[in-house]
Amino acid sequence: MQKNKLFRASCLALLVTSLSFGIRAGMMNQLGIDFHLSATQLGTITATAFWGFPLAIVIGGFIVDIIGMKRLLVMAFIFHFFGIVFTIFAQGYWTLFFSTLLIGIANGLVEATCNPLVATLYPDNKTTRLNHFHLWFPGGIVIGTLLVALFVQIGLGWKVQVAMMLIPTLIYGYMFSKLDFPVTERVSSGYSNKDMYKAVLSPLFIFMFICMFGTAITELFTGQWIGLLLKNVTDNAILLLTLTTGIMVIGRGFAEPVVHRLAPQGVLLLSAIFAAAGLYMLSTFTGNSIFFAAIIFGIGVCYFWPTMIGFVAENIPKSGALGLNLMGGAGMFAVSVYTIFMGSFYDRLIVKHLPSGKDLDMYLKAPENSASAQALAHAKNLAGPEILQATLIIPVVLILAFGGLAFYMRSRPIAVQESL
């Protein structure tokens, strides 16, 4: 077994997953223009990736120990390849919907396999290594959004941007086909299926499962929609996502001393505090100060996803691959539901800021620079920050939740920790 090659191939597979987020976030506005899509329709298309993800990751969690990690990653490669190709040749709403679903399923299969794979490869350093693995998620978003900005400048359309994802897809598919895989840590440790199901029904796991709803929404909904929500607040809205995710790459790369110093629960508490502050700033600041807000927000969401999974891997090891994948599925499912709801809410806010009695579709189809187009831009300018303010309540609740978790973990007897 070639541990380092398996880890590098896993990072490349996650890079494809994150590129799909970064490139889609950058082309959302253009898709709306090219196919005459409302915010509700764009929200539904985006949400498709998020509910395709939990569908795949949860099913993968149940079968990964049975069919093996390699077969799941072969399936991920197939879904990624066809999802990308179908996106390139999309003709409208339904073809975008279907192709995004395929990519979402592929993304879920990558996480369903690679999270337990990394935990198995590095049993003595799980949270740190999961942070190093997951730095390729924001890393791919940085690469994706910069590609979008570059291709827009030189006049290359979104189809070329999507096609770029085929390169790392083909490479990771080839790498995994040549490597041997271990069994998961739960299997190698001798924990039974009964132990696994008992662990995922424990109060601590259920608590973390629920908290995953909030951490995922705070990070992924905001990241996916920030370019659209703040497009009319700043001329460089997509660069806000690049800056935020750039901070996440750096933070996850230097996760080891932070996790060692604060423990996973302490990291989660500080993350919630910074995320709430950053989200408030993003919804209220204007001009260049909004880039400072993006830095604070990036620090906040930096450690959320990998540390949530790392906490479960370290403190509830009997939950195995199923536990890690249920956490990822919970996060993506929450984001999918929230995205659909907020897309519709965003449309209602826009209508509220338009002249009374007007039809939104008329404004969406208005010629560029016309009076109707300018009125729509002004309405979006007002509605975007309101969406962020509505989302702010989530990290505020997480501050209380993780404060309680830190207190509980400090007071919990060592014997109880070892039994889990």
Alpha-carbon distance of 285 to 217, in angstroms, equals: 21
Question: Tell me, what's the pLDDT at 193?
Answer: 83
CATH number at 21 reads 1.20.1250.20
Instruction: Note the pLDDT of residue 172.
Output: 93
3-state SS assignment for residue 326: helix
Gap between the Cα atoms of 13 and 110, Å rounded: 7
Full residue range of the structural domain in which residue 415 is found: 3-419
Whose tokens are 């590609």? That residue is 147
Q: How many domains does the structure of the chain reveal?
A: 1
CA distance 216 to 225: 13
What does the pLDDT read at residue 153?
81
Rounded Cα–Cα distance for residues 346 and 352 (Å): 10
pLDDT below 50 — which residues of the chain?
A: 415-420
Query: Cβ contacts of residue 136 below 8 Å, gap of 6+?
Result: 11, 12, 14, 15, 18
CB 270 within 8 A of CB 174: no
The DSSP 8-state label assigned to residue 52 in this structure reads: H
- Exposure pattern of 133-165 as b/e (b: 16+ CB <10 Å)? bbbbbbbbbbbbbbbbeebbeeeeebeebbebb
- What is the per-residue pLDDT for 191? 75
